[in-house]
Amino acid sequence: MMNVNTEKCIGCGLCVKDCFPRDIEIVDGKAKINNITCIKCGHCIAVCPKDAVSTDEYNMKDVKNYNKDEFLVDADNLLNFIKFRRTIRQFTDKEVEEQKISKIIEAGRFTQTGSNMQDVSFTVVREGMQELRALALESLKEKGEVMLANLTPQTMRFKRYAEMWISMYKEFKANPDEKYNESDRLFFNAPAVIVVTANSDVNGALASSNMELMTNALGLGTFFSGFFVLAAQDNKKIMDFLGVKEGKKVVTCMVLGYPDVKYFRTAPRKEADIIWK
């Protein structure tokens, strides 16, 4: 629950004003958190000028006081950083350090979630890459066969993907024990993946976006495998392998490694589609 140290509290009311669920009131000149409609968002902890609010539900060591030099990011640099990021499909054989993976996950853990659900979970696969690859390619092959058997004019545009998945499966089965495969079009021989699961697609996607920024900040590269997300849908073997909790679904699969390619500039994009009113 959320707690107020009445010796520190000066009754300024900033926490009351910033509490969206309206769970805080001023009683006898001190803030009182009722812990009835509270969603544990931590705004009261962050806004209190006297550090009078705490919680026994989360680790208070996560809380850091604001310091301009450590917290401020230049807006133009950030925009250039976002523009320069590239989807990476060429990786070296260098393993990704656990410390860096943990920092990427921290970026996801601290991403906002609707109603402060904090429903995002992470599965890191390194040693089990071959097993995961086998499960995913088998699933894609089966989906491809069903798709080819039921083509319509509306689904004809997906025919090339169905044929690709079947081809990918055959290539893998020809050399299932090879760690490195030049024709790997699923994970592109990356040394690790982080599978992001959540109850909410939006929460999982928001976390993944911040995780990608951290990935690039650490000198790593990633791409989001839509093929894998499709393979995991309604596939109990994959979900069990990943340890996906009940009620959650695979939102993204971040294929992760050190880039084996160097870019020299940003790439152009379409003009922004904006409606001003």
pLDDT in tens, 124-161: 999 999 999 999 999 999 999 999 999 999 999 999 99
pTM of the model: 0.94
Fold of 82-277: NADH Oxidase (3.40.109)
Contacts of 98 (CB under 8 A, 6+ apart): none
pLDDT of 143: 97
* Distance from C-alpha of 20 to C-alpha of 43, rounded to nearest angstrom: 9
**Residue ranges per domain, the chain?**
2-62, 82-277
CATH of 2-62 among 2.60.120.560, 3.30.70.20, 3.90.79.10, 3.40.1190.20:
3.30.70.20
Report yes or no: 193 and 187 within 8 Å, Cβ to Cβ.
yes
Q: How is residue 30 annotated by DSSP?
A: E
What are the CA-CA distances from residue 93 to residues 167, 256, 276 (Å)?
24, 11, 48
Q: What is the pLDDT of residues 65-80, one digit of tens each?
A: 999 999 999 999 999 9
State residue 4's pLDDT score: 98
* Phi, psi (degrees; rounded to nearest 5) at 30: -130, 150
What does the block give as tokens for 62?
């996560």
Q: Is the pLDDT of residue 225 over 80?
A: yes
Residue 108 tokens, joined: 């996801």
pLDDT at residue number 29: 97
Alpha helices of 48-191 — where are they, by DSSP H?
A: 68-71, 75-84, 98-109, 129-149, 159-174
Q: What is the mean pLDDT of the chain?
A: 96
